[in-house]
A and B are shown apart, each in its own frame.
Chain A
């Protein structure tokens, strides 16, 4: 069965610290997608990144970087030089291709609440 585990429920850091959010997933499929979403205090869900199972290259976007390792079924997210505006709940999610090739639904982790203090 598909499952996404975010073991860190809450993390608190001081501004400018680096922080890594962990995500471990389970799937029997060989073709799948992994996602990170951000949910700020205002409540909306903001898409951050999508990775497919055939692309293990790490990705960097400004202060954000993602490390995808199939060997350990992990897709970790690092924020460098954190800022107060990074305070939010971050969700990791998994999507498998269902039979027929169309996209399946997202399986979300429980989320990690990140608090960045000034």
Chain B
């Protein structure tokens, strides 16, 4: 079975540009999570969805960040405009309420110049 799929795997962009990260959760999972990993702050939750509905977005840094989940098989995390401090690895994870374990995608390594 396919795991969580994220694209792109690497993204290099210039400050001020819009960045869109994509995630396809494991089929049948109804919870989806976006995390960010940096050296300074470690792994931190940005937002999570349950049944396509955002449940907790308190970790979203500021208005430049937005996330959507239009259906059960797709989510996006958008940064507009991007800044150098947004450089990080962004992970998407999914879980089923029954199993209660989050499975992570391979991550998107973002570098904003």
Contact = CB atoms under 8 A, between A and B. Distances in A.
Contacts of B107: 43-45
Interface in B93-113: 93, 95, 97, 100-107, 109
A43 B106 contact: yes
B42 A108 contact: yes
A108 B43 contact: yes
B97 A103 contact: yes
Given A102-B31, A102-B55, A91 B43 contact: yes
A110 B109 CA distance: 19
Contact of B106 (A44, A50, A98, A111): A44
A99 to B, nearest CB: 11
Nearest to A42: B106
Contacts of A95: 100, 102
A64 interface: no
Main secondary structure of the interface of B (DSSP, over half): strand
Contact of A45 (B100, B104, B109): B104
A105 B48 contact: yes
A102 B97 CA distance: 7
Contact of B102 (A47, A52, A109, A111): A47
A44 B43 CA distance: 12
Contacts of B100: 33, 50, 52, 95, 103
Contacts of A33: 100
A36 to B, nearest CB: 11
Nearest to B58: A105
Q: Which 6 A-B pairs have the closest CB atoms?
A: A45-B104, A108-B43, A105-B45, A44-B106, A50-B101, A110-B42
Interface of B: 31, 33, 35, 42-45, 48, 50, 55-56, 89, 91, 93, 95, 97, 100-107, 109
26 contacts: A33-B100, A35-B102, A43-B106, A43-B107, A44-B106, A44-B107, A45-B91, A45-B104, A47-B101, A47-B102, A47-B104, A52-B100, A95-B102, A102-B50, A102-B55, A102-B97, A103-B31, A103-B95, A105-B33, A105-B56, A106-B35, A106-B43, A106-B93, A106-B102, A108-B42, A111-B42
